[in-house]
Amino acid sequence: MRDRPLAVLTTDYFAIAKAVRLASGFSSDVVACTGGQPLDEAQRAMLAGAGVSIDERGISRVVQSCDGCVMEVR
């Protein structure tokens, strides 16, 4: 998974911390998906400081491949 685009469902502080760790050790292309939940300024700053993009759209469906990898988040 190293150096591949990654998405993390960020529903709490621990998921945000995971997104930051992934951005620092695995990939330079990490997006934090909030599923429509708002983030506070401290959470935004933590993600921005690690270069993690934020997607605040709601999630209605996750499409995965036959081997279980996520292909698309809608």
**Domain ranges within the chain, ordered by starting residue:** 6-69
Give CA–CA dist 63/28, Å, rounded: 22
Confidence class for position 45, pLDDT limits 50, 70, 90: very high
pLDDT at residue 25, rounded to an integer: 84
pLDDT at residue 11, rounded to an integer: 80
pLDDT tops 80 at residue 71: no
At what angle are helices 41-49 and 13-25 packed, to 10 degrees? 10
pTM of the model: 0.79
Instruction: Write the class of the CATH domain 6-69.
Output: alpha beta
